[in-house]
A and B are shown apart, each in its own frame.
Chain A
Amino acid sequence: MSAPLKETAAVPAQRSAGKTPLRPGDSRTEGVTLNVFSHGFLALWALLIVLPLLWLVLSSFKTDAQIGGSAFGWPETWSLDVFSRAWDKGIGDYFLNTVIVLVFSVPLTMLFGSMAAYVLARYRFWGNRLLYYFFVAGAMFPVFLALVPLFFMVKRLDMLNTYQGLILVYVAYSMPFTVFFMHAFFRTLPTAVYEASILDGASHTRTFFQVMLPMAKPGLLSVGIFNTLGQWNQFILPTVLMQPQSGDDPERYVLTQGLIQLQQQQGYASDLPVLFAGVTIAMIPMLVVYLSFQRQVQAGLTSATLK
């Protein structure tokens, strides 16, 4: 691969008097081979991503015997029955639990995160930097470090296996990234607008909610999507905090937890189509969010690493 490349590299110097001084004569053929080569690899990886996912969705239409028999073969029937069966078997509850938690936790995360970030970004007071680093540092530590005392903290507050407990914990653990990102965002907003608002007699609180927050919409959207995905996919925190505490304490599993629960039960009651249908149901909202906010999702998630 590298040998012919070097040859081409040497060519332009000699041919610089030709018609196309900056393009060596064989650049086109080289381009074509490289193009075929790169397309081949790119397409292969795309297939490796798509095929297992499609295969799993397809498998949910098969029967249990079919799934165990061979990896290939089409489903005999295309009945959507399995999805309603999965929904009734717990996926519906898990889905609902996740939605209930996120409906509160994401807006609260954004509200409290923005409030703290805004004050830290735009007001000078003693301990400002310290507090900022204190928030951002939380992102550095593995969550495992806190798990044991966190469990007993939530227990003491009598919030184990409750929605409000998980909501508060989600909000708290989303603070580092939210504060970090919104802090950067609020700093870029023009001071003039803020001053005009204050001069017009608006209070600080009002300026925040009616002037600054609306201006920060693009940032709120990116961070909001990031937090939605992160909290939707969270597994470790609910595993520790959302276990039924006694016999008559109902299960309040979230979706990730429930899927794993279903998977572990496969040893006893084999109903793989239901499990696969459950995964399909869990994937659909993510697919919708991803495809509709594709640009923000990619930007939001990758910017999270660039601190």
Chain B
Amino acid sequence: MRKGQYRFVAGFLFVPVALYLIFVIWPYVQTFGYSLTDWKGQSQTFKFVGLDNYKALFQDDIFMGAIWHNILFLVFIPVITILLALFFAFMLNAGGRGRAGGVAGVAGSKFYKVVYFFPQVLSLAIMAVLFGAVYRSDSGGMLNGVLIKLGLVDAENPVEWLNEPSLVLWALILVVVWHGVGFYLVLFSAAMQSIPRDIYEAALIDGAGRAQSFFRITLPLLWESVQTAWVYLGIAAMDMFILVSTMTSGDYGGGPDHHSEVMATVMMRNFLLYGKSGYACAMGVIMLLLTLIVSVVMLRATRRDRIEF
């Protein structure tokens, strides 16, 4: 009997573990090794070069600029998305005629949730085409079209949203926010609904207003979801490959003149276009390290806040 059980366990685990080892774990491990070589991918031979790739990386202005852009994304994407999502979630759940000052949803809140969440099921490739059209640099673009109609932009020289070094990052942030708000709204909304009504009622008896009940009750009790959202948006901000590589100019994006470059686009260009596999692996390792640091720092930073309440 027991022997049969072990055979069963092993049999069930064999395929999943094998697939996972071959395609996920082993490549992850190999990346570290390759990042120490001058492997070009074409040839089978390569030399061990120690930390040369990493040294080169830190002198690579394009890659350093890319890290800086990732950091900008890291600051703005989570803040804007979370604030908007919290605002809308609060409006949905507490904006109604709040008898208990708390969780009376507005009429049609279900409809709003369905609409807001929809972009989340669309692929980022669709986002890229959609916003490529929205950001068109002539009057045929949605944004320029509207702004020209309103008289805010001169029809003769419309704004080149994706070709203006000072605008391109903001244009990309807007896409991520547009795509993500609905998702985090649903997340926060579910958490808000799980807050027991008696807490709000008790607060009301004690004379708390709406604003007070939001900041003193809703937000602290929601903190765990906010923390999760923060980490996930942070990880997304470290990636950004699809949008940057497809919406901005240049091979694998990053234009104009590397003003929207992120780590992932530099890495993919070095790997797929220049064939510098070892160098690209070193970038992958740096991306992992930064992503891990970001997750840990964000968890730590938000944890301190939580104790205050």
Binding site for B on A (CB under 8 A): 1-2, 5-6, 8-10, 12-13, 22-23, 28, 31-32, 34-35, 37-39, 41-42, 45-46, 48-50, 52-53, 55-56, 59, 67-72, 112-113, 115-116, 118-119, 123, 125, 131, 134-135, 138, 140-142, 144-154, 168-169, 171-173, 175, 179, 203-205, 208, 229, 232-236, 239-240, 255-257, 259-260, 263-264, 272, 275-276, 279, 282-283, 286-287, 289-291, 294, 297-298, 301-302, 305-306
Contacts and interface: CB of A to CB of B under 8 A. Distances in A.
Contacts of B235: 142
B95 A39 contact: yes
Nearest to A123: B9
Interface in B93-129: 95-99, 106, 112-126, 128-129
B209 interface: yes
Interface of B: 4-6, 8-9, 11-13, 15-17, 19-20, 22-28, 30-31, 34, 41, 84, 87-88, 91-92, 95-99, 106, 112-126, 128-134, 136, 138-142, 144-146, 149, 178, 181-183, 186-187, 190, 201, 204-205, 207-212, 228-229, 232, 235, 238-239, 241-242, 246, 263-264, 267-268, 271-272, 277, 280-281, 283-285, 287-288, 291-292, 295
Nearest to A146: B27
B130 A298 contact: no
A35 B106 contact: yes
A22 B205 contact: yes
Nearest to B279: A148
A46 B112 contact: yes
Contact of A298 (B9, B113, B146, B181): B113
A106 to B, nearest CB: 15
Contacts, number: 290
A173 B144 CA distance: 40
A305 B91 CA distance: 23
B91 A41 contact: yes
A175 B98 contact: no
B238 A142 contact: yes
A46 B264 contact: no
Contact of A138 (B24, B41, B228, B263): B24
A302 B116 contact: no
Interface of A is mostly: helix
A152 B271 CA distance: 12
Q: 8 smallest A-B Cβ distances: which pairs? A: A71-B145, A38-B95, A233-B123, A172-B23, A256-B125, A149-B30, A9-B209, A146-B27
Given A145-B31, A205-B8, A302 B92 contact: no
Contacts of B287: 142, 144-145
B31 A148 contact: yes
Nearest to B252: A239
B281 A236 contact: no
9 contacts: A9-B208, A38-B91, A49-B119, A67-B133, A123-B8, A145-B28, A146-B24, A283-B126, A298-B113
B122 A298 contact: no
Interface of B is mostly: helix
B140 A232 contact: no
B118 A290 contact: yes
B282 to A, nearest CB: 10
A52 B130 contact: yes
Contacts of B205: 12, 22
A249 B209 CA distance: 68
Nearest to A31: B97
Contact of A70 (B125, B140, B212, B267): B140
A68 B31 contact: no
Contacts of A134: 25
Nearest to B124: A235
B105 to A, nearest CB: 10
A131 B18 CA distance: 12
B237 to A, nearest CB: 12
Contacts of B138: 68
B223 to A, nearest CB: 14
Given A42-B88, A148-B27, 9 more contacts: A46-B116, A68-B140, A131-B13, A138-B20, A138-B24, A142-B235, A142-B239, A147-B267, A256-B123
